[in-house]
Structure 1
Amino acid sequence: MGPGASRAPALRLLALGALLWPAAGAWELTILHTNDVHSRLEQTSEDSSKCVNASRCVGGVARLFTKVQQIRRAEPHVLLLDAGDQYQGTIWFTVYKGAEVAHFMNALRYDAMALGNHEFDNGVEGLIDPLLKEARFPILSANIKAKGPLASQISGLYLPYKILPVGDEVVGIVGYTSKETPYLSNPGGNLVFEDEITALQPEVDKLKTLNVNKIIALGHSGFEMDKLIAQKVKGVDIVVGGHSNTFLYTGTPPSKEVPAGKYPFIVTSDDGRKVPVVQAYAFGKYLGYLKVEFDEKGNVIASHGNPILLNSSIVEDPSIKADINKWRIKLDNFSTQELGKTIVYLDGSTQSCRFKECNMGNLICDAMINNNIRHSDEVSWNHVSMCILNGGGIRSPIDERNNGTITWEHLAAVLPFGGTFDLVQLKGSTLKAAFEHSVYRYGQSTGEFLQVGGKSPFEVKWVCPAGWFSSSLPRTSTARFV
């Protein structure tokens, strides 16, 4: 054996050590993060519908608390962050209107939350009371500016940024919210949603003047905007996002979600820094877990991690579970009222209804057309030939394996927004424009993708250059998307 052979194992051990232990003088931060939980306080099935088989169910705040506490006990510098859209999505929000969000986020001891668009679904008043008044953690958005009489009413209830002490260091958290919120929810006329990048830069600059050199952008504008913020906003070290339900993972994923990229997703900023960007899918199925090393100047020198699947191998915390059961009593009437049956799986998942024709979309649209036929104008022939519904309005599947039973609780999860269908007469050119709008961001999991019912089939064809398309109305029997 030559001298080179004896040195090789030692060199390999040194290389391994460099990966496992922080560099000398480095400071390590663990970021735990959630986004788009949408009122999934209880454990759910793998597809985020009502739990049917407990041994295969995932998520829920009791299980989340168990994992968070394990990590807090094991690691010295831990932040628990939420990137918005805790509101809306199940019977929990329908009944409690956000009080459940404030209560259980307080119980889990979140360190900060960014405002999502659905936090405005019950208007500004439904955000102020209960969430903004009852939360014992900072709620953030730098690009929402209040005006008029609301400015004094809401002053101090949410902040552009917050400086958090973590061990012997401080970390700045700056928030942002989708500027499309006025079109997606009900924030009213006294809130202005500014461009995210334009609004974030001065707040980050302010943190820098306060000698904060570790800055996290926490927000709810979608993965594409998250990446732009990482690229364009000078001084942001990490981006923790939400809104697009993006699943990132390094290695073999633990469930059926297909990764959109590695975790963390690394963006090279315009000034040459490597900025980690993360999301943790949605519905409380995963807990995002990111470890970041900073040098003494606050520069990110390493980052790694992966979302943790919150499956049944993680025991639900008994105290949180008992609290859930107490709150659950008020919901039981909605769980016992049987409205119908299904013998097939009704697919209302994000992965289906925002990308292709889904049978839940067909059912809803066909039901609306049928209802109009049964209650049509007695004077004239029924004139409704088509139904269109944005896929983002469908929020949950229904699993036929629970005896096929459909209850009010199921319906509140599938269609939680309380919206109505409007009967309108459209020109063909307007309808064509609506279909083109429905696919102009196709592939980003946005909600404008249309579900269709009736006898108006169509197809969308992608043509060069990328992002341009043409639509036509062929003589086919069902809607199809190409």
Structure 2
Amino acid sequence: QSASAMPRRRMDTFRVIRPLVFVLFFNSALLIESSNNGTELFNLRIVHNNDFHCYYDGIAKYALLCDDKKPENCYGGITRFQYLAKQKKNETNTIFLNAGDNFHGSAYYKLFKWGIVANMTKHLPLDAMSLGNHEFDDEPKDLIKFLKFVNNIPCVCANINASKDPELEALINKSVILNVGGKRIGVVGYVTADTVTLSRPGPNITFTDEIDAVRQEAKRLRDSELADIIIALGHSGYPKDLEIAEKVEEIDVVVGGHSNTFLYTGTPPISNWPKVEGLYPTMVKQSASNKTVPVVQAYAYGVFLGDLDLTFDNKTNKLLNATGNPILINHTTPEDQAMKAIFQYYKDQFEKIVNVTVGQTSLMLEGGDVCRLRECGG
């Protein structure tokens, strides 16, 4: 069942053990019975991605380029990513969320800028997306063009102040309400406040504290919009995601990005890469409310599609269970043919340019985060 969106513009011992076992058994039986009649539980699936960074042609281990002669060593790719996303989105009560940083990264972005990102993103079955810091790399003017092109997808960010740029302000919502299976699902966006130094938002765009902004908008969604479940969707990194989950009582789920964090429960599908940094989902206990909030992220570059299954009490909207894992996209994943045709246009032009030899070097052309700290050859 698909979700419909209603965007809102920015606004300001034994004896002891025996009964315990009985209770647990009783509750488990009740849960199974409820699951069968379908009236006491509400199930929600969130598929999600973050930090695609324009790696639409796939990527090899350690962020190296794919070798077409060895497809088994290649992961991700927009055509296979789209196939899996569409398959998952067709399942009941499923929403698809993007946590930013679609801009910048691969040579495709260097050549085609916002245009290729817009064309690829527009065709993804997304219900909402947040901003990433890299969306401002070519200043707000390119972000505006991108958002106008993908106006079928609500863009949410509660901690941006774009009042001095009305054109951009009109294209961004603090939050959105998605109607899913009779529930009102609120999605609140946020982006790292460090965007001012990490990118080029310009003098007219400022950013406030993520936690304060998310809390304020989540309260409004709960009180004024009568949201049943509230998701924080943003791009500030895993540590900040955990902090939001712990401190903002109104939030039920956090879907994040920015730190390219790989979370996984069990044995991951690829050995030694990427490094597992926590459980999927990471469960955070709120000290004030005593409720538990799942936090998820899905690495980067389109290598994985996050897949989170949630079970709520249908009457109280209390979270009862959260399970899942990111799904690996590799050469065995089928390609979406419609997306393949769209991407082929760019790939043909790309190969004409990049297959021209312009020079040689005996030095390793390194890249990645090291380039933020010192001179590099990436």
Question: What TM bracket, shorter-length normalisation?
Answer: 0.7 to 0.9
In the alignment, structure 2 segments of 5+ residues that lack a partner are: 1-24
The aligned residue for residue 48 of structure 1 is 63
> 1:37 corresponds to which letter in structure 2?
F
Q: 1:212 aligns with which of 218, 222, 227?
A: 227
Given that 1:83 and 1:115 are in contact with CA atoms closer than 8 Å, whether structure 2 keeps it comes out as yes
Q: Distance between the aligned counterparts of 2:349 and 2:130, measured in 1? A: 29
Within the alignment, does 1:390 sit opposite 2:376 as a pair? no
> 1:274 corresponds to which letter in structure 2?
T
In the alignment, structure 1 segments of 5+ residues that lack a partner are: 1-10, 354-360, 362-388, 395-410, 415-482
Q: Distance between the aligned counterparts of 2:146 and 2:87, measured in 1? A: 29
User: 1:329 deviation in Å?
Assistant: 2.3
Aligned length: 344
Within the alignment, does 1:57 sit opposite 2:74 as a pair? yes
Within the alignment, does 1:189 sit opposite 2:189 as a pair? no
Q: 1:105 aligns with which of 105, 121, 127?
A: 121
CA RMSD, Structure 1 to Structure 2 (Å): 2.5
The alignment's TM-score, normalised by the length of structure 1, stands at 0.67
Given that 2:89 and 2:125 are in contact with CA atoms closer than 8 Å, whether structure 1 keeps it comes out as no
Per the alignment, do residues 146 and 347 of structure 1 end up closer, same or farther by CA in structure 2, a change over 3 Å counting? closer
Given that 2:85 and 2:125 are in contact with CA atoms closer than 8 Å, whether structure 1 keeps it comes out as no
Q: 2:278 aligns with which of 242, 261, 264?
A: 261
- Superimposed CA distance per residue, residues 270-305 of structure 1 (whole angstroms, 9 cap, x where no aligned partner): 311100000000111110000111112221111000
Q: 2:96 aligns with which of 53, 61, 80?
A: 80
- Superimposed CA distance per residue, residues 376-405 of structure 1 (whole angstroms, 9 cap, x where no aligned partner): xxxxxxxxxxxxx616x86xxxxxxxxxxx
Given that 2:237 and 2:259 are in contact with CA atoms closer than 8 Å, whether structure 1 keeps it comes out as yes
- Which structure has the larger Rg? 1
User: 1:342 deviation in Å?
Assistant: 6.5
The aligned residue for residue 317 of structure 2 is 298
Q: 2:190 aligns with which of 172, 176, 188?
A: 176
Given that 2:50 and 2:298 are in contact with CA atoms closer than 8 Å, whether structure 1 keeps it comes out as yes
Per the alignment, do residues 323 and 20 of structure 1 end up closer, same or farther by CA in structure 2, a change over 3 Å counting? farther
Q: Distance between the aligned counterparts of 1:263 and 1:174, measured in 2? A: 21
- Matching of residues 110-129 of structure 1 within 5 Å: 110-129=126-145
User: 1:345 deviation in Å?
Assistant: 6.8
Percent pairwise identity = 36
Q: Distance between the aligned counterparts of 1:155 and 1:335, measured in 2? A: 37
Per the alignment, do residues 102 and 309 of structure 1 end up closer, same or farther by CA in structure 2, a change over 3 Å counting? same
Q: Distance between the aligned counterparts of 2:330 and 2:362, measured in 1? A: 27
> 1:263 corresponds to which letter in structure 2?
Y
Within the alignment, does 1:226 sit opposite 2:241 as a pair? yes
The alignment's TM-score, normalised by the length of structure 2, stands at 0.85
Q: Distance between the aligned counterparts of 1:219 and 1:111, measured in 2? A: 14
Given that 1:221 and 1:244 are in contact with CA atoms closer than 8 Å, whether structure 2 keeps it comes out as yes
The aligned residue for residue 287 of structure 1 is 305
> 1:235 corresponds to which letter in structure 2?
E
Q: Distance between the aligned counterparts of 1:72 and 1:134, measured in 2? A: 18
The aligned residue for residue 438 of structure 1 is none
The aligned residue for residue 385 of structure 1 is none
The aligned residue for residue 199 of structure 1 is 213
User: 1:346 deviation in Å?
Assistant: 5.2
User: 1:92 deviation in Å?
Assistant: 1.7
Query: Mean Cα displacement is larger for which, 51-60 or 235-244?
Result: 51-60
